[in-house]
Amino acid sequence: MILVFGKTGQVACELQRQAEVVALGRDAADLSEPAACAQAIRDSDATCVINAAAYTAVDRAEDEEALATVINAAAPSTMAQACAAKGIPFLHISTDYVFDGSGDAPWQVDDRVAPLNAYGRSKLAGEQGIAQAGGRYAILRTSWVVSSHGNNFVKTMLRLSQTRDALTIVDDQIGGPTPAADIAATLLRIAAPIGAGQGGGLYHYGGAPWVSWKDFACEIFAQAHRDVTVTGIANQDYPTPAARPRNSRLDCTRLRQDFGIEAPDWRAGLARILSDLEAAR
């Protein structure tokens, strides 16, 4: 049995859609109480645990770093310890925001980490705690997650297009939009090998091809047939509480080498998301 932390989030929804998993929502396991999360693992007959819950409000985390750090670092570290004690694998998701965004080369898994914001620091602390727990684990660093559920850039753009015919969007941050469905499929595919000791550790899994947020917005409006004029602006002209990395390109070689898994094409994923949203209307 695969035990999932998170029930309503983007990746959690896709895990439940793709497999028979037991998903624990906030009511059943609150990550602000790490010991209770570890107890839920000990009380279960899980053969694998996937943590799909996190504090993901990047700007709000600047004011709530302590809470973000409990949820994104203490909770998954404690979960990983419980999994290690039980001898089962722990799968977790991290972010491009552990990097400082310098340069324009794709980030390798062992490149220097230097988060620019509180969310990134909390996620990095989670990676480190999981690695120190001593069990079998995989951490998938991903970026710019999108789906038909929850909050994400696709849904924000579609919402704005209902009231705006022109938008200015940052064009000097480059990365890979990643469909939550592809992240879920990858986690489910690597769970058994990770448990068997084949592979493990850090992986990068970000969508291809790389784009700016502005070009991503343009593709969303093109596929959704929305008539919105998009103008590129510099990140410094779109002030937000949290600084964001300029270069979020993730090099996914290690996942291909260990499992034959390629970076997903987000344009195909976007088409599926739009048809899901259309079907739900």
Ligand X SMILES: NC(=O)C1=CN([C@@H]2O[C@H](COP(=O)(O)OP(=O)(O)OC[C@H]3O[C@@H](n4cnc5c(N)ncnc54)[C@H](OP(=O)(O)O)[C@@H]3O)[C@@H](O)[C@H]2O)C=CC1
- Interacting span for ligand TDO (CB under 6 A) from 68-76, 78-86, 106-114, 166-174: 166-174
Q: What are phi and psi of 265, to 5 degrees?
A: -85, 110
Question: DSSP label at 88?
Answer: -
**According to the binding rule CB under 6 A, does residue 153 interact with ligand TDO?**
yes
- Residue 227 Cβ vs ligand X, minimum distance, rounded to whole Å: 26
Of residues 55, 97, 119, 137, which has the active-site annotation?
119
Reading the block at residue 120, the tokens are 């990134």
Q: Per rule CB under 6 A, is residue 203 in the interface with ligand TDO? A: no
CA distance 75 to 222: 40
- Take residue 72 and report the two structure tokens written for it: 């994104």
Pick 69 or 95: Cβ nearer ligand X = 95
Is residue 119 part of the annotated active site? The answer reads yes
159 or 163, CB closer to ligand X? 159
70 lies in the site for ligand TDO, by CB under 6 A = no
- For 205, other C-beta atoms within 10 Å of its C-beta total 24
What 3-state class would DSSP assign to 280? helix
Helix (H), strand (E) at residue 179: strand 178-179
124 with 167: CB under 8 angstroms? no
* 213 contact, one of ligand X, ligand TDO, none, CB 5-8 Å limit per kind: ligand TDO
Is residue 170 within the footprint of ligand TDO (CB under 6 A)? Answer: yes
- Kindly give the pairing relationship between strand 178-179 and strand 145-146: parallel
Enumerate residues 99-138 that contact ligand X by CB under 6 A: 123
Between CA 39 and CA 48, with CA 43 as vertex, the angle to 5 degrees is 90
| Site for ligand TDO, rule CB under 6 A | 56, 58, 95-97, 143-145, 153, 156, 167, 169-170, 173, 213, 238, 244
| Site for ligand X, rule CB under 6 A | 6-12, 26, 30-32, 52-56, 71, 93, 95, 123, 142-145, 150, 180
Residues annotated as catalytic (active site), given as ranges: 119
